[in-house]
A and B are shown apart, each in its own frame.
Chain A
Amino acid sequence: MKKDFMQTAVITSNVRIAKATFEMKFDCDATAITAPGQFINIDVPGYFLRRPISVCDAEDRTLTIIYKVVGQGTDAMSRMSAGTELNILTGLGNGFDPERAKGRALLVGGGCGVAPLFMLAKKLVRLGKAVDVVLGFNTKDEIFLEKEFLDLNDLYEFGCEGFDEAYYAGEIYDKETQPDKDRLQRGKKPEVRVAVTTVDGSYGIKGFVTDAIAQMYGGEIPYYYACGPLPMLKALKKTVGNGGELSLEERMGCGFGACVGCSVKTTKGFKKVCADGPVFPAAEVLEEV
């Protein structure tokens, strides 16, 4: 049986980090989140349905989410103060598979969809993989996590010299987070590069994430991981192709597979976004089936 599925999480901080965007940190057992891209479902007092929010980071007893105020429930969340206890369902859904990327990974986030990519980037860095991050927003005021992604470069400090040894000594990296050996053998420091696009051109590259990707790569585009609005995911599939994973969003009833509210048609049949996803191989979703 699933342990720690339902928990009482205590808010340790809840701050505005961009326009209508908040970062909430919880003290709880964060170990139920085993893959980046998984989500929690929050019981917001006064509202019947829980609010499913993807996890931005999870380490030991600190769970971080980033959410946008889009309605009354998230508005109520934005007014909660540190010390407030919330009932959450955690460890929900299936996340991204960091193993799939070879030496370099492309992470594409749109708006709030940027949040789960942070935990993924961290994991990829620990695997010794280079990470290109493309963040798409409407305008400058909405931008968040740009600096935090760049700061992940510091995580490589162990890595470059003696990175290999550290792994094999089992001091820093456990068996699951094996560094990319090819890259290490080339003796080059992996890196995190970040590009930001804004639709109105108020910051970074003017346009959409696909415009940035077109500028960044002359040749082959790395295996990609994407989370964001449906038009962005469709554009990615069209321009970059199926060599990646997409995190889908849908209005959910339960978040754990019981109500079948969030179904999606895939090339492998009808699936539930909450329990079979939210992350799916790009080739399986947003196809005419």
Chain B
Amino acid sequence: MTGFLVKRFLQALVVLFLVSIIVFVLLHMLPGGPARAILGPKGTPQQITDFNHQQGYDRSLPTQYFMYLKRLFTGDLGDSYKLNSPVFELLKQRLPKTLLLTVLSTVLAVVIAIPLGLLQAVRRGKASDYALTGLAFLLYATPVFFLGLVMIILFAQVLPVLPAEAPQGESVGELLSEFSGLVLPVVTMAFGIVAMFSRYMRSAVLDNLTEDYVRTAMAKGQSNRRIMVRHVLRNALIPLATLLGLYLPTLFSGALVVESMFNYPGMGLLFWNAAQGSDFPVLLGVTLVVGIATVIGSLLTDVLYAVLDPRIRSVA
């Protein structure tokens, strides 16, 4: 198990290294180079030369890359053009909030999707299965922004029980203290995930129900409920673990839409505003964080995999 995790961790480091190269290359692909991007169309050639020299952009690419890495390790991701603040500080402030939103909605989605998928698998072909399948597809096909609008109209306007705007607290604790404001963003984000996860759960359970070991479990004299909980559930969760890790980047992009809709002060909103204002250092900083998150997500999948499936553990 340890060997397996060490192996995966080393692989993750390699991927992170590649991510840093990609972001570095992106930085150099900015239209007209970073100098033009920052100084704008009105910058004189002299200003651009000075800027490049000052920032080290006139040195060789490998040297620049090492400087970039050095800055990266000291937490220097450059300064935002618009917000007049270091990108690192912005991310430090916003990332926990986006994580809060993502984690809450994922947990909510998983908590709903697993029993839902089980239920559908057990009731396969019955009316409740069809109804839930229909609902799942409806939710799955609905764009997040539309779903968010419907939620706002329903629960903030028609039935004014929940605020339409997310809390604007400075820290995660402050956000949590205004929990009612979190409900709509979290639920909106969770719905799309529930649809997908419950479909996966349903088919994973159905696959497992035809396995011989379920028949063996029946032959021991267990009730169907016990077989579901003690035998099928864990085996059915294995494919779901893969999905969870692969889904993480998608979750971040979902957060982007949801945050901008509910004016939630997370990384997605930061990215959204930076994109509109061509605030490149911020965009690249967020890209880097999402890249890292993706790598960590797949690492987490592997860990989860190893926990759930003993066969994976002994391969390493």
Do the two chains belong together in a single complex? Answer: no
